[in-house]
Amino acid sequence: MIEPATEAVLADVPRAGVEETDEAVARAKAALPAWRALTPGARAQMLRSLADTLAEHHEELAVLEARNAGKAIGDARGEMAMVVDTFRYYSGAPERLLGDTIPVAGGQAFTVREPLGVVGLITPWNFPLTIASWKLAPALAAGNTVVLKPAELTPLTALRFAELAEQAGLPDGVVNVVVGPGRTCGQRLVEHPDVAKIAFTGSTEVGRSIAAGAAASIKRVTLELGGKSANIIFADADLEAAAAAAPLAVFGNAGQDCCARSRILVQESVLERFLELLEPEVKALRVGDPLDESTEMGPLISAEQRESVGSFLNGEAPIAFQGDAPDGPGYWFAPTVLAPVKPGDRVAREEVFGPIAAVLSFSDEAEAVRLANDTIYGLSGSVWSRDGARALRVARGVETGVLSINSNTSVRVTTPFGGFKQSGYGRELGPHALDAYTEVKMIFYATEG
């Protein structure tokens, strides 16, 4: 593993292949009967114990995540707190997997929720343990056993999580981690006959291949994929607040966020004023050592990612202004604002996954909605306006799974998260996540001879 801030070796991790993946699935399959047979209260207690154990190791996990993924330590601490909160939230789920009673003739019909079985979890490098926890917690709460395949670039917190799960008392085989390439380990999970479901977070391109591969065995699949989200700012908005919030909505985690509001749509009558307010905010962003308490943005994950992001600075759209980034070792990239950007420009169409914001203008509400929807993606977004009715109209009109008004928040443990269109399908977090890890069974009990 290479540390993105230093380009030095952080750790050596053996690379797994098909054989190791099969062994992990076999362990999960063997552990399944006992895990699903636990009483709801016993499974809930184990998840509470796991949450407590994770909380005890919060700082250790945060530093490990910051170093392995190159994220600011403050962000890493917040993410590890969310991991703990996610397990605490879903520790209540085993005792709340409710069914329905349905009136029928000749007896009683009712539904129960059954676990799927062995679930394969394939997770990305941008929020390694956080996104893993969004899948792990509801899957385990519902009575499934899991095989987690973290991204090859950032497996360290997943491996540590497996150790902490064992320390917290989870039975052997319930949680398994396989570190290897997606083209071998990930593909094997998708194809494996004993894997009932794949939950994937990553690129839309890879998501398409997973959906196609899973179709062969009718595997259940949930996909959380790419985004090209719009931050829509109307002339009557609090421009100072919108400009202050916009940078981290794009540049947080060095822009490596599928929820990044990377298209900033500004009503043309206030475009010049908004850019004047945005520039000092961008230039004040602290980019540097992830372990420095004052750092707000760290490096990109790899040299390859830096090259990919840099390809968007090709002169098609002019650079309006940039922030600063360190020199020397590390995959650094200065936060950059491109303006004016035309709707057909590459930076307005493709997911950058780096710290580049594209500013476009619009004339009225109808054009704002049209531009926001002019993308294959539909994951997140924001609307800034003091006109509450218009803000709600636009929020309903934008084709995206998660949207906020006068803020840039996307994700909460207690609310559903997921996308429209080619941003994926299925929902994570909140009560809805359990639907993706259970099957509904109808039972009819005859009461008449």
Give the catalytic positions in this structure.
Answer: 224, 258
Residue 424 corresponds to which tokens in the numbers above? 């994926």
CA distances from 350 to 37, 68, 201, 309, 403 (A): 47, 26, 18, 11, 20
| SS3 track for the chain | CEECCCCEECCCCCCCCHHHHHHHHHHHHHHHHHHHHCCHHHHHHHHHHHHHHHHHCHHHHHHHHHHHHCCCHHHHHHHHHHHHHHHHHHCCCHHHCCCCEEEECCEEEEEEEEECCEEEEECCCCCHHHHHHHHHHHHHHCCCEEEEECCCCCCHHHHHHHHHHHHCCCCCCCEEECCCCHHHHHHHHHHCCCEEEEEEECCHHHHHHHHHHHHCCCCEEEEECCCCCEEEECCCCCHHHHHHHHHHHHHHHHHCCCCCCCEEEEEHHHHHHHHHHHHHHHHCCCECCCCCCCCCECCCCCHHHHHHHHCCCCCCCCEEEECCCCCCCCCCCCCEEECCCCCCCHHHHCCCCCCEEEEEEECCHHHHHHHHHCCCCCCCEEEECCCHHHHHHHHHHCCCCCCEECCCCCCCCCCCECCCHHHEECCECCHHHHHHHEEEEEEEEECCC
